[in-house]
Amino acid sequence: MKRINFKEMHYGWVIVGAVFLIMAAAWGIVYNCSSLFIDPISDELGFSRSQINATMTIRAACQMGVSLFAGKIFKRFDIKGVMKAASIVLVVSFFMFSFAVSLWSFYLITFISSISITLIAIIPLSIIISNWFDEKKGTALGIAFMGSGVGGMIFSSLTGIWIEAYGWRVAYQILALSMGVIIIPSIFFIIKLYPREKGLQPVGVSKESAESFAAKENFGVTLAEAMKSVKFWALNLSSILLFIMINGLM
């Protein structure tokens, strides 16, 4: 059996590993563990389940709202810079859940954390992987985003144990610290926006075809053009229905 030579591995696959970790710690925690806090928070603070469940609606609305303007945000500001700032805000805001005592504080923290996770997760990470891969892009995206499911499976199991052992407030703190330990180093030190930052070409691109690939990086449509497309509205409608189904199940 052929051994894997890690010294010859393209840095693009390191990017995939970093994205996997970010999705596991960010998406896996925020979207897969939040429902585990509903009962203990309701029991301690006297809120109804529907009042706590409203945070999931806020989260879904924030993600869809920010996603509509994400393209403009990432064109105007440095993607890496936005991700760095958003990662810190996400960790701090998630930690602040442990101090919440009123409904409005839960809703406000949810609003802030939801904007933050949208600015570090699927949209910017998809752009980064697209920059690093010409060939095997689908494989790279599939492996990278599989992190959300793996992270959800691991952290949801641990969260139940932590809530039972230490209470929901300490569980939030542990999750926030776990998120920070994984996300912040990955974004600050591992993630590179373009292969040229490491003196490389994208996976599957030779030096001779590098110029044609660079031309493809700028290909796209404007928001006005997208809004005239049936595919654009079909994608948004399917996203809305997906969030409704997920929130209903959770």
Which alpha helices (H) appear in 167-221, and where do they start and end?
168-185, 210-217
- Residue 170 pLDDT: 98
Within a 10 A sphere around the Cβ of 187, how many other Cβ atoms? 23
The domain locations on the chain are: 6-198, 221-249
Report how far residue 179's alpha carbon sits from residue 188's, in angstroms, rounded to the nearest whole number: 14
pTM (2 d.p.) = 0.85
Superfamily of domain covering 6-198: MFS general substrate transporter like domains (1.20.1250.20)
Burial of 220 (0-12, 13-18, 19+ CB in 10 A): exposed
Report how far residue 201's alpha carbon sits from residue 97's, in angstroms, rounded to the nearest whole number: 43
> In the numeric block, which tokens belong to residue 66?
């920010």
Eight-state DSSP code of residue 208: T
| pLDDT per residue of the chain (250 residues) written in tens, 0 to 9 | 455 556 678 999 999 999 999 999 999 999 999 999 999 999 999 999 999 999 988 998 998 889 888 888 998 999 999 999 999 999 999 999 999 999 999 999 999 999 999 999 989 999 999 999 999 999 999 999 999 999 999 999 999 999 999 999 999 999 999 999 999 999 999 999 999 999 999 998 865 555 555 555 544 566 666 666 776 666 666 656 655 555 555 5
> In the numeric block, which tokens belong to residue 199?
């003196």
Contact 250, 59 (CB under 8 A): no
